[in-house]
Amino acid sequence: GQQVMQIPQYQHVQEGEDFTTYCNSSTTLSNIQWYKQRPGGHPVFLIQLVKSGEVKKQKRLTFQFGEAKKNSSLHITATQTTDVGTYFCAGKSRSGWGSNYQLIWGAGTKLIIKP
Protein backbone atom coordinates (compact mmCIF):
# COMPACT_ATOMS: atom_id res chain seq x y z
CA GLY A 1 0.00 0.00 0.00
CA GLN A 2 0.91 3.64 0.04
CA GLN A 3 3.62 4.60 2.47
CA VAL A 4 5.29 7.52 4.09
CA MET A 5 9.02 6.79 4.08
CA GLN A 6 10.90 8.10 7.09
CA ILE A 7 14.68 8.26 7.34
CA PRO A 8 16.97 7.54 9.01
CA GLN A 9 15.79 4.64 11.13
CA TYR A 10 18.31 5.51 13.85
CA GLN A 11 20.50 8.50 14.56
CA HIS A 12 23.23 8.53 17.15
CA VAL A 13 24.37 11.99 18.23
CA GLN A 14 26.51 13.49 20.93
CA GLU A 15 24.59 15.68 23.32
CA GLY A 16 24.63 19.19 21.90
CA GLU A 17 24.68 18.05 18.26
CA ASP A 18 21.77 18.58 15.90
CA PHE A 19 19.30 15.93 14.77
CA THR A 20 17.11 15.76 11.68
CA THR A 21 14.52 13.25 10.49
CA TYR A 22 12.82 13.29 7.10
CA CYS A 23 9.53 12.00 5.78
CA ASN A 24 8.69 11.52 2.13
CA SER A 25 5.41 10.60 0.51
CA SER A 26 4.87 9.58 -3.10
CA THR A 27 1.58 11.45 -3.16
CA THR A 28 0.41 14.84 -1.99
CA LEU A 29 -0.60 15.11 1.63
CA SER A 30 -3.34 17.32 3.04
CA ASN A 31 -1.46 17.60 6.31
CA ILE A 32 1.28 15.96 8.31
CA GLN A 33 1.60 15.42 12.03
CA TRP A 34 4.66 14.75 14.17
CA TYR A 35 4.72 12.66 17.33
CA LYS A 36 7.37 11.78 19.90
CA GLN A 37 7.48 8.49 21.76
CA ARG A 38 9.76 8.22 24.76
CA PRO A 39 11.22 4.78 25.55
CA GLY A 40 8.48 2.67 27.13
CA GLY A 41 5.89 5.36 26.50
CA HIS A 42 3.16 6.19 24.07
CA PRO A 43 3.22 8.61 21.11
CA VAL A 44 2.63 12.22 22.07
CA PHE A 45 1.49 14.80 19.55
CA LEU A 46 4.00 17.54 18.76
CA ILE A 47 2.56 19.51 15.87
CA GLN A 48 0.44 19.49 12.72
CA LEU A 49 1.47 21.19 9.47
CA VAL A 50 -1.13 22.03 6.87
CA LYS A 51 0.12 24.70 4.48
CA SER A 52 2.56 24.29 1.61
CA GLY A 53 6.02 25.48 2.66
CA GLU A 54 4.95 25.89 6.28
CA VAL A 55 7.66 26.21 8.94
CA LYS A 56 6.86 26.04 12.63
CA LYS A 57 9.15 26.23 15.64
CA GLN A 58 8.83 24.93 19.16
CA LYS A 59 11.87 26.07 21.14
CA ARG A 60 14.74 23.95 19.70
CA LEU A 61 12.47 22.00 17.31
CA THR A 62 11.84 23.20 13.75
CA PHE A 63 9.21 21.54 11.57
CA GLN A 64 8.92 22.03 7.83
CA PHE A 65 6.34 21.00 5.25
CA GLY A 66 7.53 20.94 1.67
CA GLU A 67 6.23 23.19 -1.07
CA ALA A 68 4.70 20.23 -2.87
CA LYS A 69 3.27 18.87 0.39
CA LYS A 70 5.02 15.55 -0.20
CA ASN A 71 7.81 15.82 2.34
CA SER A 72 8.44 17.09 5.81
CA SER A 73 11.29 17.34 8.26
CA LEU A 74 11.91 17.78 11.96
CA HIS A 75 15.15 19.38 13.07
CA ILE A 76 16.32 19.55 16.67
CA THR A 77 19.06 22.03 17.49
CA ALA A 78 21.56 21.21 20.24
CA THR A 79 20.04 17.94 21.42
CA GLN A 80 19.55 17.26 25.10
CA THR A 81 19.02 13.99 26.95
CA THR A 82 15.34 14.85 27.25
CA ASP A 83 15.07 14.62 23.45
CA VAL A 84 15.75 10.87 23.48
CA GLY A 85 12.96 8.85 21.90
CA THR A 86 11.46 7.91 18.57
CA TYR A 87 10.00 10.59 16.33
CA PHE A 88 7.16 9.67 13.98
CA CYS A 89 5.54 11.52 11.14
CA ALA A 90 1.98 10.72 10.13
CA GLY A 91 0.52 11.94 6.89
CA LYS A 92 -3.08 12.35 5.87
CA SER A 93 -3.59 11.85 2.19
CA ARG A 94 -5.50 14.36 0.16
CA SER A 95 -7.17 11.57 -1.75
CA GLY A 96 -6.73 8.03 -2.89
CA TRP A 97 -5.40 6.18 0.11
CA GLY A 98 -8.25 4.20 1.61
CA SER A 99 -10.47 6.40 3.68
CA ASN A 100 -10.03 10.12 4.00
CA TYR A 101 -9.77 9.65 7.75
CA GLN A 102 -6.70 7.49 7.87
CA LEU A 103 -3.25 8.61 8.84
CA ILE A 104 -0.32 6.82 7.25
CA TRP A 105 2.61 6.59 9.64
CA GLY A 106 6.31 6.68 8.98
CA ALA A 107 8.36 3.93 10.65
CA GLY A 108 9.99 6.43 12.98
CA THR A 109 13.49 7.70 13.67
CA LYS A 110 15.06 6.74 16.95
CA LEU A 111 17.24 9.45 18.48
CA ILE A 112 20.03 8.02 20.61
CA ILE A 113 22.35 10.24 22.62
CA LYS A 114 25.87 8.81 22.81
CA PRO A 115 27.28 8.66 26.34
Partner 1 sequence: EAQVTQNPRYLITVTGKKLTVTCSQNMNHEYMSWYRQDPGLGLRQIYYSMNVEVTDKGDVPEGYKVSRKEKRNFPLILESPSPNQTSLYFCASSLRREGGEQFFGPGTRLTVL
Interacting residue ranges for partner 1, rule: CB under 8 A: 1, 6, 9, 30-31, 33, 35, 41-45, 48, 88, 90, 92, 98-103, 105-108
H helix or E strand, kind and range, residue 50: none
Nearest distance in Å: CB 46, partner 1: 9
Please say which residue, 41 or 53, places its beta carbon nearer to partner 1.
Answer: 41
Nearest distance in Å: CB 56, partner 1: 14
Please say which residue, 66 or 106, places its beta carbon nearer to partner 1.
Answer: 106
Q: Burial letters for 3-15: b for 16+ Cβ neighbours within 10 Å, e otherwise?
A: ebebeeeebebee
Distance from chain centroid for Cα 44 = 12
Q: Would strands 85-93 and 55-58 be described as parallel, antiparallel, or unpaired? A: unpaired
Nearest distance in Å: CB 45, partner 1: 4
